[in-house]
Chain A
């Protein structure tokens, strides 16, 4: 059977693949300054982003490779999330990696590979493709987490991530196998057809729960979250930002697509589980975050809690639920990368400032940095007029519409709890005196550009939410 390939449909993926080849080739030449590789990544992702936006606006829909690969507004919206994350992470990485040429090439290559994996996950119309994308993404991330080889914490993070990630992949693959056993196919729409009221075989249910476990590990849902704080703490800060953003969104993209499109007839079975997981994830994430003294660990637990908010959208299981989860993931990626970027910006001569107490007096000493940090934290806490507020509000709204009042009450109370630890950082920055006078270090311009983009994005979406809300509402499959 000849395969006709519609190249136009695959444009964003092809551009990323081409970019990573270019980065690979340029890394071979010793005579070139390797800082240019970062700019190549940004330009390539930028073009892919532009193409994705165009395709999204045109409402392009189509399948490729024997119905295995599906391009629709859903996958294109997620492409936008991934590419924006990649661009922002590249911007904050440039100064962080320093001028050491050996570090640059593999770094951007792996980031691009991970991005390609994410795009496959969002567009996978076939469980096998989703798995391929997942592995491509995860393997790149394992290496990136342990990227600073001479730093024991980084190596430990990489190892831990690899071991637990491999477990998760195994669970996921086992789930796929069981679903194949029950439904006789791995094609997502075909699975939905195969599952009827009459055919709810135990194989399908077991497969579904294994998928939940697999995804639970990948997107760090309680009780499958233990790896996240250690990995975030040990991994290079830029990679912590990256892992917490794009890959989480990619996990949710596949999560949403498989559960809403392949397993809608099992909704009675999974929706209760998702509700309980959402409540657990939000509460555990937020409560443990209160106790953290290290800002990276605090952001790790906060990112666990945010996965719980997104799960509310899945639990709502209606169109608004999906689009609210998508909007929230977009907003979350931007603000979380922004927050990690601000952590990098707080770097002093003798290393990074990672303890929250190190931020004392920053409000007066580095007003610009403190302002960025405050905007991101307020957005994470969900204060208006930031994007975080709109995203959370929309999620709660969709859940109330679906009748999950209690879930929303738990979510709203969690928002109040989370305000406590986010504001504590703000308190430290503005309201406590520094213990010692720290030398002023200059701001790296690329990092500031990344933060400015993130801050403008967070405020703009907060004030004019329709900019992203309408596209998100048009992206439900």
Chain B
């Protein structure tokens, strides 16, 4: 019941705004903010009531909906969706507040779209029925389409149509996949009763995976993303980067991996290179972007590459890291888009060359920007590091693929430092342009928008345990589902060989790993990985700081 309230409260806000839009812009904004905050507060009840000791779905509601089609209103959350739900309810009021003064025309339509979008996204993360999932998946397209198309930049129509068509092309295939699964599930769309192995699992895997890969977006399906991000209004970019992209990775972890483990194993050698290409390619392209927003957009391609890499490592640490990194990316990239939006509102330009020396005029802005930049790079002590480190560790130690990929991916971390810090240097330091001399620093509303995000950035960075402990069990279940397979023997071999190579690495004098792995011959418990990641945080800290000092 609580979950249904969280999902549909924003929709209530849509109706309220539709009925009360005559009251004027400030009333509309007020209603939207109140509903957004209320949804967040109610969703905190999901967190406090969450039982971290089990991997089963919680807050489950099941209600007959369309018996003639074999579908029901079935929702629930586990440790993975819990955080995505909270991220969504957290970012929406932030976006409402961020859009407070920047939307000139049709404010009621804007707020209605934003709230309808929230319902759609929450529904995607909570649906336990394939039909319901698809309904939410498709229905969230419409508000996003309006957000980009009406309130976006110059090329907004091109961007929004491209976004919708890309997504629809993917979901058309997914629809066929859902129907084929339905037939193999005793004519039911219920996700919880689905159990493999399925016939034609390779095709089914692809039908789902391509839809999700477009959303993530995985290289080479990423071309819609820079357009959509750049043209969207700030709030749209934040939601797009913060939550919408996560629907793709969430879909992979919820459907592709547990339902079709054998197909996932066979396609891993194809997908992992794509993820790594995405990491490097996204970083390289981001480096040369003259436009701040485009730079952040391409950095998303790179960051999401890490998430996919972690997911397909099929190791507890890698997947936990990926889930955490979804949240991290939502916070850091969301914050970056907000900051870019704030500077754009002042200067009406996003070109890096137009700036320089801003730190002198806007010290608060510069400080916040610095923290967020470092978080995005993955500075130890901030959130980005924990996720990336766990992903790389899990992929390296237990990844079901060649270690060379992890080594290349690690280069992406360095490249991230290069493009972000270089951008920061060009925008914040150097000589202050005359046209920028009058730029005001952040006002109280903007600081209120940023502070909660900063709080979580630091919190996850310093003490990620409350976050990881809720994720752990659910990820553990996914890992067992991926590995209990007809291909069990093969998975076991891989584990063996990976352990052996760990040993050889130790012999090669990899002191870091040696000190981190107490006894690498013993299979490690999930929680040990968590601790490893935490210890790693302190360990690598000074190395990283040195590296960044050099880059500067």
By a CB distance below 8 angstroms, the chain A residues around B146 are 430
**Contact of A364 with B176 at beta-carbon distance under 8 Å, contacts A419-B165, A423-B145 already known:** no
| CB pair B139 A385 closer than 8 Å | yes
Q: Is the interface of B mostly helix, strand, loop or mixed?
A: helix
Q: Which residue of B lies closest to A399 (CB)?
A: B179
Given the complex of chains A and B, what is the CA–CA distance between A219 and B68 in angstroms? Answer: 28
Q: In the complex, which of the residues A427, A432, A470 has the most CB atoms of chain B within 10 Å of its own CB atom?
A: A427
| CB pair A409 B165 closer than 8 Å | no
Contact with A along B38-73 (1 / 0, CB 8 A): 000000000000000000000000000111110000
| CB pair A413 B172 closer than 8 Å | yes
By a CB distance below 8 angstroms, the chain A residues around B173 are 409, 412
By a CB distance below 8 angstroms, the chain A residues around B180 are 400, 405
Given the complex of chains A and B, what is the CA–CA distance between A429 and B179 in angstroms? Answer: 35
**Contact of A393 with B175 at beta-carbon distance under 8 Å, contacts A431-B149, A466-B66, A473-B68 already known:** yes
**Contact of A408 with B150 at beta-carbon distance under 8 Å, contacts A384-B139, A419-B168, A473-B68 already known:** no
| CB pair B161 A427 closer than 8 Å | yes
B142 close to A (CB within 8 Å): yes
**Contact of A466 with B68 at beta-carbon distance under 8 Å, contacts A408-B176, A431-B157 already known:** yes
| CB pair A384 B168 closer than 8 Å | no
Given the complex of chains A and B, what is the CA–CA distance between A405 and B139 in angstroms? Answer: 24
A383 close to B (CB within 8 Å): yes
| CB pair A383 B68 closer than 8 Å | no
Q: Which residue of B lies closest to A465 (CB)?
A: B66
| CB pair A466 B67 closer than 8 Å | yes
Given the complex of chains A and B, what is the CA–CA distance between A424 and B149 in angstroms? Answer: 11
Interface size on B, residues (CB 8 A): 36
A209 close to B (CB within 8 Å): no
B169 close to A (CB within 8 Å): yes
B99 close to A (CB within 8 Å): no
| CB pair B135 A412 closer than 8 Å | no
Given the complex of chains A and B, what is the CA–CA distance between A137 and B463 in angstroms? Answer: 75
Minimum distance in angstroms from A289 CB to a CB of chain B: 15
| CB pair A420 B69 closer than 8 Å | no
Q: Which residue of B lies closest to A467 (CB)?
A: B66
Which residues of A from 368 to 412 have beta carbons under 8 Å from B? 378, 383-385, 389-390, 393-394, 396-397, 400-401, 405, 408-409, 412
B156 close to A (CB within 8 Å): yes
By a CB distance below 8 angstroms, the chain B residues around A394 are 69
Given the complex of chains A and B, what is the CA–CA distance between A151 and B452 in angstroms? Answer: 66
Given the complex of chains A and B, what is the CA–CA distance between A364 and B107 in angstroms? Answer: 12
Q: Which residue of B lies closest to A327 (CB)?
A: B68
By a CB distance below 8 angstroms, the chain B residues around A427 are 149, 157, 160-161
Minimum distance in angstroms from B136 CB to a CB of chain A: 8
**Contact of A408 with B179 at beta-carbon distance under 8 Å, contacts A384-B139, A419-B168, A431-B149 already known:** yes
B354 close to A (CB within 8 Å): no
Contact with B along A423-448 (1 / 0, CB 8 A): 11011001110000000000000000
A43 close to B (CB within 8 Å): no
Contact with A along B170-193 (1 / 0, CB 8 A): 011101100110110000000000
Minimum distance in angstroms from B342 CB to a CB of chain A: 25
B111 close to A (CB within 8 Å): no
Given the complex of chains A and B, what is the CA–CA distance between A383 and B137 in angstroms? Answer: 10
Minimum distance in angstroms from B541 CB to a CB of chain A: 48
B466 close to A (CB within 8 Å): no
**Shortest 3 CB-CB distances between A and B: which pairs?**
A412-B172, A416-B168, A400-B179
Could you name 26 residue pairs across A and B whose Cβ atoms are closer than 8 Å? A383-B141, A384-B136, A394-B69, A396-B175, A396-B176, A396-B179, A400-B182, A401-B183, A408-B179, A409-B172, A412-B173, A412-B176, A416-B165, A416-B169, A416-B171, A419-B164, A419-B168, A420-B161, A423-B164, A427-B157, A427-B160, A430-B146, A430-B149, A431-B157, A466-B67, A469-B69
